[in-house]
Structure 1
Amino acid sequence: MSQAITSTQNTAPAAGFRADLQGLRALAVLLVMCYHIWFSRVSGGVDIFLMLSAFFLTGSLTRKLGSGQKVSVLGNWLHRFSRLLPQAALIIVATAVTAWLVLPATGWLALINEAFASLFFKQNWALAETNVDYYAFNTSASSPLQHFWSLSVQGQIFILWPVLLVVCAFIWRRFFSRYRFELIAFIMFAAVFAGSLGYSIYLTAADQRLAYFHTGTRMWEFALGSMLALALPLLSRLPAWLRRIGGWTGLLVIVSCGALLDVEGQFPGYLALVPTLGAALLIMAPEPRSWKNPAGILSLAPLTKLGGLSYGMYLWHWPLLVFYLQLAGVDQASPLAGTVLIFGSIGLSWLSTRWVEKPLLRLERPHRLPILAMVRRPQLVSQAFVITLVAMVAAAPIGVWDSNVQQRKVQAASQSPEENPGAQATADWDPSPAALTLPLRTDLDTEWQTPGDHCTGKYSPQDPAIMFCNQGGDPNVAPDLVLLGDSHIQHWSDAAAATVEASGGSWVMIYHPGCRYGSSTMPWDAQECAAFQEAAQDYVTKLAPSMVLTVATQTVGAPDEFGNSAASQETMVDGYADAIDPFVEAGSQVIAMRDTPRFESSIPDCVGRHRSDDTACDAPVADKLAAVNPVDTFLASHDYGSSVRPFEMTSLLCPEGICKAVIGNVLVYIDDSHLSKTFVNSAATRFASAFSAASGWPREEMTSR
């Protein structure tokens, strides 16, 4: 995590060593672990770690600079990273290898990128770029390396802080030598604190996901630790009774922070001041190990020993938790399992400290490498050697994993179309046992369909509630088809667009993910969904296309007799009639499509687990869809005539009554309910035939164009 929580393996305490701060490290990491494991919440302990790391770093460098000693920025960097990297690299490699062996291939590429990003201290930016929501606590689906964001932020600060202090020392000697160096440094860090905190408050309100991982929004926490280190000699002059009360208050704040504060909603803005100021009060508290002081508790031997292991405990606990939840198939650890995970993290931290960190640190001693006697600054060279050695050894297995993934991509690209016919597979087609199933489970992020171009001109929606709009065909004529709805209309869009364009027609698609058109059962973004439906109805009515294709039913998980979501339930979209009436009145024909069968878990993951038998992931259509198409029942009770026509592709997806995971050596789904682009493209001919039968397309007027 940081120098603030790295193990202190010295045989004797250094000057100024405070056992209570070692206990504070242990308390903070235990809070982080407990909140992650049992409550799926953020405790504020990480913020304490960040502040503490700057407290120790600034205190050490200030003593040297203030006494006139020279400080080597390069030497400081090498010193810090030679201590941070060994355990971090071990845990990154152990996590990557375990993920390669036990986790679904759907997340491999992301994990490879995160492993390299973590190894080179830029994981926070990688997570920010992929828009990870640290607070969306489905821990079982999280990355086992996600927690390395904080170590990356700290590594970046460890590069910046010595530079700031050396520059500050230069300014002090040149212009303000009549003042104490600590005062000049305090003013500098106060400016950093104010600017970073203001930016953190702003960005947390504007984009909390980015704010959580942004180094700029975290700098104030380090600046606070630095200011405390500089001001502590003065603060220690306050009455002991006052500092004692502050210390007990700080301890109470730290323990209760995660339970009482809306950490998920407002961190790392001004609310992150609560745990960090609580830690500051504890640092200011009297140091004597007395039961009347918080130091009496924090200096207890079990806590101080755990403080020396806290770095490894933090780094080990998250991948252990993620792997346990995924392999056990649960969303939260039980009290017993959580306890085992905590003790497992402690044990692994002891092992990695004892057998990895300490031996590598001993290599830094020049006499361990006699060749170093020939160089001018053997300590720096030995530290650089340790860092380089660790980075190369750690990067090797991650590179092998990445190479394996890339080789599979090359093999997949070289396969002939006959090896992956998909929906075009004939009854006598015989798959090659050596052929890879497509799409590769590492390439599923490329399987979303967005045919055509972004809408322009008269097709461009004026209402900002319509955020996604694509068009194809002749833009100078009224569209023949509008595809309207959510991602379940989107995943047929390649085939629908090809069907229309093959006859010289034009089309438009507007959609909002997770928002089924006509449904009053809103998703989490209910306000956006409602606005989209209203805007979409007005947009399509004014366009008055020949046809409007919507998904008219919806499949949702239905609880079984034990309360588990083990089957699917299909119903008609509840507000469908009111939603399509304006289109019918405008002269458009509505094509009411039946929903895609929905599974209870990811099909690619299931296929990966049953590599020798992908039929293990199939399911009877009776478990996925209603016995009678709800659209047929709906039309029987409404007098629409030919203005509304039923349409379904169930026989394609569920041949002979069995909904398939793989057809023609092609994955049908990219998750539990969305079709793969590869499969839909293979089914374009069958889609066109079924669509023409339902809608009468192409129309007679097409021949006159």
Structure 2
Amino acid sequence: MSTTIATPNETEKKAGFRSDLQGLRALAVLLVMLYHIWFSRVSGGVDIFLMLSAYFLTASTAKRISRGERPKVLGAWAHRFSRLVPQAAVVIVSIIAASWLLLPSNKWPALIDQSFASLLYKQNWYLAANQVDYYNFDHSSSSPLQHFWSLSVQGQIFIIWPLVLAFCAVVWKLFFSKINFSWVAGAAFAIIFAGSLSYSIQITASNQQIAYYHTGARLWEFALGSLVALAMPLFEKLPQMLRRFGGWAGLATVVSCGALMDVQGQFPGYMALVPTVGAALIIAAPAPRRWANPAGILSVAPLTKLGDLSYGMYLWHWPLLVFYLGLSGNAEAGFLAGSVLIAVSIALAWCSTNLVEKPLAQWQSTVDFGGFPVGRQAQLVGGLLVLVIGVGAASIPALAWEGKVEYRRTVAATQSATENPGATAPKDWDPSPAALTLPLATDLEGEWQTPGEGCSGENSPDDERIIFCSQGGDFAPGKPVLLLLGDSHIQHWSDAASKMMENSGGSWIMVYHPGCRYGSDAARDVQECADFQDAAQEYVARIAPTWVMATGSMTAASYDEDGRSPGEQEYLVDNFDESIQPFLEAGSKVIAVRDTPRYEYSIPECADSKKSDTTRCDRAASERLNAVNPVDEWLDSKDYGSKVISLDLTELLCPEGTCKAVIGNVLTYLDDTHLSKTFVDSAADEFEAAFRRATGYKGHSSEG
């Protein structure tokens, strides 16, 4: 008996396998890795990867339907996800373990939520809801699970696409059985393509951050892959020279897309057509592995072997990069570090592919549960079992992590008030070693100060340029009114200010806009801030409160390029005197508050990493603040009398010349620049005393 050994091309032709597309898949993932690690740009590789997944799914399913097979939706789901989940579960468990051990606890709640979101294929919606900026190329502050957004979109499509194909099969059988199934499915995917692309262009223009993660804005990329799969018989009828030229043009486009195009803020939209159409031209090119064809390059052994590992490479490279940058303190990876990250990603991908995914896939294809069920049913049951094991294996550590966070919250809730006196702690006070510092770093979201309720009645702004307005207390005629005006640095005193006014029988109003320092001409470069300042000035002059309290100086977080310390950079808000004039003319007094110190690092993260000695997070007041309060210096040169008052609360935060991260076992800040609600609440009496000293306020129903 003679044996004929098939050539590679013959084998591929019989199996329908195209090694060049395996190479294209590897190229797409390599581009993603290279651009993430070294170039801080979007490459278009993810878009190609998404398109290819729909191409393969549609090509295989459409062939079976055309042969008369009934589409098996449940089987398609089990088949796809039983191959995706095992590696994803391994990576998620690894990220959970590394994050638990290495990352500060203030990042834990979000990562716990993202662990479940990634495992359940809804990470893209989590990131969209939380307005995560994919184009923020400071990867050291990114989530190690952020890259699961694209896998979530892909997973959602893997649920939708079998249903679409099954629907097309029913329509074809009932109404169009005399024509090729590809025409029916092609019409459906053409409608999806046109609708999704139109929506993608619209939402990318109006809200790009949402668009990037939105499944609806990505459907067209998958539809394009499906259309290419269905149109392959038509492409094969075109002249080979034309297809070959298109393939080379497509390959050049795919490789150069990220380098030549500035896609920031423009993806997905119509710009994503560039890499995906480039990939479509490669797919439509002649497949034989000759050097005259793009397939000759894409079918080289290194690329095809990496194609087998491409899914794992994508899964591993991002968390490795994020952990490296976060732990090293580097803003980017150099050539050597980046090369090591790529090599380690490939090595881990080999392990997770060959030691996890493939053994489970092989077991699933040969499983026999004692003869019942058998055949395809056994494979279906095996696939579902793989899914249950994978999801369960990743869920257990995530639930344990979540349990750890809840346990700390329970312990913190049982602590007595004497364990966390904050600003009221005596100088010689020493906390119990077992007492937890409050607020817990896992609970910082609740540390923003938003006292009172929305402004109403005569206090309602009735101006859409003022977004945030709140009030509280007794607004009876003749009683004092304190109006807090500015940005988040006036907001972070609001708990103490509101408590003081309400306890003394007066009232308060807070009008603020995050990131918009009142009186600053520099801040007016942002139109929204300029609009707020104009509207707020009119509003406050109309209300004519007893006092207008605004931040009068501006602090800095780090040394500048000239080597000046943050303290040397503190200055009076550039147009403060002119901006407060309408208030003085309306009869109000102005309280100019000195800005609070800023830091180049997160106070909670620093304190969490230096639990044994949080004083290492402290800084000298002389480094953080100017030697002379800019407000005092300014007032010395003016003749406002008692109409403009300086309020310097530095001593609360920087006792005895040291700006402290923890006071009385309480975190002073919730991040690098904003005071924590817990600390401000503890300092309410000290705030009131300082306010009364500065203003002469006695708590009567008239002005201070």
**Shared fold (TM-score, shorter chain, > 0.5):** yes
Aligned to 1:207: 207
Is 1:521 aligned to 2:512, yes or no? no
Change (3 A) 1:124 1:526: same
On the 8 A contact 2:200/2:218 being kept in 1, the answer is yes
Report the counterpart of residue 636 of structure 2 in structure 1: 636
- Structure 1 counterpart of 2:7: none
SS, match of residue 432 in structure 1: coil
Following superposition, the deviation at residue 479 of structure 1 comes to: 6.4
Cα drift, residue 368 of structure 1:
6.6
Matched, 1:233 2:233: yes
1:181–1:629 CA distance, 2 compared to 1 (3 A):
same
| C-alpha deviation, 1:198, in angstroms | 1.2
- Post-superposition offset of 1:375: 9.4
Partner of 2:486: 485
Question: How much does 1:12 deviate?
Answer: 8.6
Q: Residues 619 and 659 of structure 2 are in contact (CA less than 8 Å); yes or no, is this contact kept in structure 1?
A: yes
Q: CA deviation at 1:539?
A: 1.1
The Cα of 1:380 is off from its aligned counterpart by: 1.0
* Distance change in 2, residues 1:479/1:282 (3 Å): farther
Deviation at 1:476, TM superposition (A): 5.3
Cα displacement string for residues 385-433 of structure 1 (whole angstroms, at most 9, x for unaligned residues): 1111111111111111110011001111111111111111123433111
Residue in 2 aligned with 1:51? 51
1:268 partnered with 2:275:
no
Give the structure 2 partner of residue 442 of structure 1.
442
- Residue 242 of structure 1 corresponds to which residue in structure 2? 242
Q: Give 1:501-580 correspondences, 5 Å limit.
A: 501-522=502-523, 526-559=526-559, 569-580=569-580
| Local SS of the residue matching 2:172 | helix
Question: Which residue identity lines up with residue 555 of structure 1 in the other structure?
Answer: T
Contact kept, 8 Å, 1:23 with 1:307, in 2: the verdict is yes
Secondary structure at the aligned position of 1:216 is classed as coil
Cα separation, partners in 2 of 1:353 and 1:13, compared to 1, 3 Å? farther
SS of alignment partner, residue 483 of structure 2: strand
Q: Bigger CA drift: 284-293 or 649-658? A: 284-293
Amino acid at match of 2:238: L
Structure 1 CA distance for aligned equivalents of residues 396 and 568 of structure 2: 45
Residue 322 (1) aligns with residue 338 (2): no
Q: Structure 2: how far apart are the matches of 1:247 and 1:577?
A: 66
TM-score by length of 2: 0.95
Q: 1:481 to 1:561 in 2, by over 3 A?
A: closer
Cα distance in 1 between the residues matched to 2:563 and 2:16: 58
**Counterpart residue identity of residue 377, structure 1:** Q
Distance of aligned partners of 1:683 and 1:203 in 2 relative to their CA distance in 1, 3 Å threshold: same
CA–CA distance in structure 2, aligned partners of residues 395 and 183 of structure 1: 43
- SS of structure 2 residue aligned to 1:559: coil
| One-letter amino acid of the counterpart of residue 646, structure 2 | P
Cα shift at 1:300: 1.1
Partner residue, 2:61: 61
The DSSP-based 3-state class of the residue aligned with 2:50 is helix
| Cα drift, residue 475 of structure 1 | 4.4
User: Secondary structure of 2:400's match?
Assistant: helix
CA distance in 2, matches of 1:49, 1:114: 22
Q: Does residue 1:497 correspond to 2:502, yes or no?
A: no
User: Where in structure 2 are the equivalents of 1:405-416 lying within 5 Å?
Assistant: 405-416=405-416
Deviation at 1:664, TM superposition (A): 0.6
Range with bigger deviation, 667-676 or 292-301:
292-301
Alpha-carbon shift at residue 256 of structure 1 (Å) = 1.7
Alpha-carbon distance, 1:569 to partner = 2.7
Kept after mapping to 1: 8 A contact 2:566/2:623: no
Q: Shift of residue 611 of structure 1?
A: 1.0
Percent of residue pairs identical? 60
Correspondence 1:167 to 2:183: no
CA distance in 1, matches of 2:286, 2:118: 38
Distance 1:457 1:262, change over 3 A: farther
Instruction: Give the CA deviation at 1:379.
Output: 1.2
Given that residues 362 and 368 in structure 1 are in contact (C-alpha distance below 8 angstroms), is that contact kept between their aligned partners in structure 2?
Answer: no
CA RMSD of aligned residues (A): 2.0
Q: Is the 8 A contact 1:558 1:567 kept in 2?
A: no
Query: What is the TM-score when the length of structure 1 is the normalising length?
Result: 0.95
Gaps of 5+ in 2: 1-10
- Cα distance, 1:207 vs. partner? 1.5
Residue 282 of structure 1 corresponds to: 282
Counterpart Cα distance in 1 of 2:20 and 2:199: 33
Shift of 1:123: 0.8
CA drift at 1:608: 1.0
Opposite residue 659 of structure 2, the aligned amino acid is C
State the SS of the aligned residue for 2:386: helix
What code does the residue aligned with 1:213 have? Y
User: Offset at 1:279?
Assistant: 0.4
In the TM superposition, 1:605-620 aligns within 5 A as 605-620=605-620
Determine whether 1:350 maps to 2:350. yes
C-alpha distance in 1 between matches for 2:371 and 2:474: 74
Structure 1 residues not aligned, in runs of 5+: 1-10
The Cα offsets for residues 208-262 of structure 1, whole Å up to 9 and x where unpaired, read as 1111111111111111110110011111111111111111111111112122333
Cα deviation digits, residues 668-697 of structure 1 (max 9, x gap):
011111100000001001101101111122
- What secondary structure, in the 3-state scheme, does the structure 1 residue paired with 2:646 have? strand
Asked whether the equivalents of residues 556 and 566 of structure 2 are also in contact (C-alpha less than 8 Å), the reply is no
Q: Distance in 1 between matches of 2:268 and 2:12?
A: 37
Q: CA deviation at 1:297?
A: 1.1
Q: Within the alignment, does 1:176 sit opposite 2:176 as a pair?
A: yes
Q: 1:551 to 1:566 in 2, by over 3 A?
A: closer
Q: Deviations over 1:445-478 (max 9, x none)?
A: 1100011111122212132221111111134558
Q: Aligned in 2, Cα 1:121/1:86: closer, same or farther, shift over 3 Å?
A: same
CA-CA distance at 1:520 after TM superposition: 2.0
Q: Could you say which residue in structure 2 is the equivalent of 1:39?
A: 39
2:350 and 2:375 map into 1 onto residues whose CA distance is 34
From the superposition, tell whether residues 587 and 363 of structure 1 become closer, same or farther in structure 2 (CA, over 3 Å). same
Q: Which position in structure 1 is the counterpart of 2:691?
A: 691
Kept in 2: contact 1:569–1:624 (CA 8 A): no
Count of matched residue positions in the alignment of Structure 1 and Structure 2:
693
* Deviation of the 1:370 alpha carbon: 4.4
Change (3 A) 1:394 1:369: farther
The one-letter code matched in structure 2 to 1:505 is: G
Structure-2 change in CA distance of 1:468 and 1:367 (3 Å): closer
Residue 404 of structure 2 aligns with which residue?
404
2:694 aligns to what SS in structure 1? helix
1:74 & 1:666 partners in 2: Cα distance?
54
Q: 1:83 to 1:406 in 2, by over 3 A?
A: same
Partner of 2:155: 155
Q: How far apart in 1 are the matches of 2:307 and 2:703? A: 80
Q: What's the secondary structure of 1:591's corresponding residue? A: strand
Structure 1 residue matching 2:357: 3-state secondary structure: helix
1:624 is matched with 624
Displacement after TM superposition at 1:359 (Å):
1.9
The one-letter amino acid paired with 1:255 is V
Worse-matched range after superposition: 195-204 or 456-465: 456-465
